[in-house]
């Protein structure tokens, strides 16, 4: 596992390789592994192999609405087993009671990958068959590998911060909009939406793209409305070989009960501020380094930064050296170009 984590690449390849290795130590019949926005913890860019794919919108909705083993609620150990947490009464889990029971799910292992810079992903492993449980030894293995995988996932996100040349075809004018029903079925979309969705979750050209990232943002809106979680219904996700995009969910209209109104999910290029926040988190910048980066983005020189931060110019230079080391850059111009993407 350490060898795989050290071989930094794209997050999709990393997860697929880890799952192959993980299957040797922790057998499972189905899985879903999502990256998350480190600030909102909302899922994006999933890879999954589940027998309930035709019911994917419902599974995502129920997962976000279930407080049992929710990745945002795993405050202690990063791993929780459904059978243990429910004392064997799996019906205490909304997603099991309303969906997974029909697929004979016997247990689920939930893993969150989180550090002091944010939440970078969560993994669900399922075993099918009554009485098929994950052992405490298997849970211990998942705990032991969580820190290394968290660092690897964050490093993968850091490597997406490259400069996009002017005129790059991956840059598109937004926003695109996907319209969902209260039950998260697709009602309509703008012409650009399908291409965005296809890049978020690659699918064959002859198949309609799966709007999984949009389902996650919309499901988070439902969680906020019902008081299950208070993170904003938004998430930033990187398009392969393209820019960072931000997805947001909101209700449409003003008449009637809110939970009966349609949901609009917008997809547009992340703002400079959103991108800088991600950059600082992904590279593990300290609070002072992050503040300095924001002053650089604002156009301040060394003297101006020192005055605003109430430190000496020498201290500013020391912070810059540390930032250059963390981000593998050598000057302010390159640092800003990577942070802002231009």
Cα–Cα distance for residue pair 342/337, rounded to 1 Å: 5
Q: What is the pLDDT of residue 239?
A: 87
292's tokens: 């300095």
Give every CB contact of residue 103 below 8 A, 6+ residues apart in sequence: 51, 52, 128
CATH architecture of the domain covering 285-340: Orthogonal Bundle (1.10)
Where along the chain do the CATH 3.30.450.80 domains lie?
2-158
Per the CB < 8 A criterion, the answer to whether 115 and 49 are in contact is: no
Q: Count Cα neighbours of 234 within 13 Å in the Cβ-side half-sphere.
A: 13
pLDDT in tens, the chain (342 residues): 677 777 767 899 999 999 999 999 999 999 999 999 999 999 999 999 999 999 999 999 999 999 999 999 998 889 999 999 999 999 999 999 999 999 999 999 999 999 999 999 999 999 999 889 999 999 999 999 999 999 999 999 999 998 765 555 445 556 899 999 999 999 999 888 888 887 777 666 667 777 899 999 999 999 999 999 999 999 999 988 778 999 999 999 877 787 889 999 999 999 999 999 999 999 999 999 999 999 999 999 999 999 999 999 999 999 999 999 999 999 999 999 999 987
Query: What distance in Å separates the CA atoms of residue 183 and residue 261, rounded to the nearest whole number?
Result: 10
**How many angstroms separate the CA atoms of 324 and 322, rounded?**
5
Which helix (H) or strand (E) is 133 found in, with range? none
How do strand 118-128 and strand 30-36 relate by DSSP bridges? antiparallel
Residues 6 or more apart in contact with residue 297 via CB below 8 angstroms: 272, 276, 336, 339, 340
- CATH number for the domain running over 2-158: 3.30.450.80
CATH topology of domain 176-273: Beta-Lactamase (3.30.450)
Q: Which residue shows structure tokens 């039950």?
A: 183
The boundaries of every CATH 1.10.10.10 domain in the chain are 285-340
């Amino acid at each position: 596992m350490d060898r795989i984590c050290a071989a930094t690449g794209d997050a999709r390849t990393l997860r697929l390789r880890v799952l192959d290795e993980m299957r040797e130590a922790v057998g499972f019949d189905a899985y879903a592994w999502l990256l998350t926005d480190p600030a909102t913890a909302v899922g994006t860019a999933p890879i999954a192999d589940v027998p309930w794919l035709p019911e994917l919108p419902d599974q995502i909705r129920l997962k976000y609405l279930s407080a049992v083993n929710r990745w945002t609620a795993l405050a202690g150990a990063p791993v929780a087993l459904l059978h243990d947490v429910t004392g064997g009464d799996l019906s205490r889990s909304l997603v099991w009671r309303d969906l997974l029971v029909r697929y004979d799910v016997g247990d689920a292992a939930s893993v969150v990958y989180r550090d002091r810079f944010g939440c970078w992903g969560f993994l669900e492993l399922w075993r099918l068959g009554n009485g098929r449980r994950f052992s405490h030894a298997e849970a211990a293995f998942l705990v032991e590998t969580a820190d290394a995988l968290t660092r690897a996932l964050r490093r993968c996100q850091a490597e997406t911060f490259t400069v996009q040349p002017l005129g790059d075809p991956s840059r598109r004018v937004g926003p695109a909009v996907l319209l969902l029903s209260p039950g998260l079925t697709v009602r309509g979309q703008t012409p650009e939406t399908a291409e965005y969705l296809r890049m978020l979750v690659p699918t064959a050209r002859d198949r309609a793209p799966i709007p999984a990232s949009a389902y996650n943002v919309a499901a988070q809106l439902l969680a906020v409305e019902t008081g299950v979680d208070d993170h904003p219904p938004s998430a930033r996700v990187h398009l392969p070989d393209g820019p960072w995009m931000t997805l947001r969910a909101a209700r449409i209209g003003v008449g009637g009960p809110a939970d009966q109104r349609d949901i609009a999910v917008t997809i547009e290029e992340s703002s400079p501020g959103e991108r800088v926040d991600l950059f600082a988190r992904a590279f593990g910048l300290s609070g002072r380094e992050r503040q300095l980066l924001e002053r650089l983005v604002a156009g301040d020189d060394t003297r101006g930064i020192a005055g605003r931060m109430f430190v000496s110019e020498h201290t500013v230079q020391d912070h810059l050296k540390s930032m250059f080391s963390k981000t593998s850059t050598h000057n302010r111009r390159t640092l800003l170009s990577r942070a802002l993407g231009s």
